[in-house]
Amino acid sequence: MLKEIGRNDLCWCGSKIKYKKCHESFDEKLLWYKTQGCIIPPRKIIKNQEQIIEIRKSGKINTAVLDFISEQIYIGMTTEQIDHLIYEKTVALGGIPATLNFEGFPKSVCTSINDQVCHGIPSSDVLLKDGDIINIDVSTIYNGFFSD
């Protein structure tokens, strides 16, 4: 799992910081967990501080979009209208709706009403009724980083 790296070498994560000040203690924890029988994720999915900052920026846009749409919903609105508002707000904030065209998904958001479990596709035929429970699943890409 762990490639041999010296304490004074630059860290494997690309931070340009010495390994001993960057990921050495983290890798030691991973090694301990591995000895306990845990499955250790590959390094390529472990993020450095700069990447985490970018993910947080994406998350802030995602949160802002959710806050925005929660104030826009009304009885009689179509889920297609929700999709349009989500798209416009996400793009206005500098993001890209992550679901749009992902593996053929045609919309910018998933809208699931009442007992629909997840990944409902917005439609001009689906109107919100009084008492409906709606789940709005927003995902955002910002500078290549995803948030959900």
Identify the pLDDT of residue 117. 79
pLDDT band at 12 (very low <50, low <70, confident <90, very high): confident
Do residues 111 and 142 both lie within one domain?
A: yes
3-state secondary structure of 44: helix
Query: What is the reported pTM?
Result: 0.78
β-pair partners for 143 = none
Number of domains in the chain: 2
Do residues 31 and 78 both lie within one domain?
A: no
How does pLDDT run across 78-98, given as a tens digit for each residue?
999 999 999 999 999 999 999
Identify the pLDDT of residue 29. 92
How does pLDDT run across 53-80, given as a tens digit for each residue?
999 999 999 999 999 999 999 999 999 9
How does pLDDT run across 15-39, given as a tens digit for each residue?
889 999 988 998 999 999 999 999 9
3-state secondary structure of 141: strand
Do residues 55 and 104 both lie within one domain?
A: yes
Do residues 82 and 64 both lie within one domain?
A: yes
Do residues 30 and 83 both lie within one domain?
A: no
Contact assessment for residue 138 and residue 132, using Cβ atoms and an 8 Å cutoff:
no
Helices (H), 1-148: 24-35, 49-70, 79-92
CATH code where residue 91 lies: 3.90.230.10
Do residues 40 and 57 both lie within one domain?
A: no
Do residues 126 and 65 both lie within one domain?
A: yes
Do residues 40 and 84 both lie within one domain?
A: no
Which domain, by its residues, includes 28? 1-46
Identify the pLDDT of residue 3. 56
Do residues 28 and 58 both lie within one domain?
A: no
State the average pLDDT for the chain: 92
46 pLDDT above the threshold of 90: no
Do residues 79 and 122 both lie within one domain?
A: yes
Do residues 9 and 56 both lie within one domain?
A: no
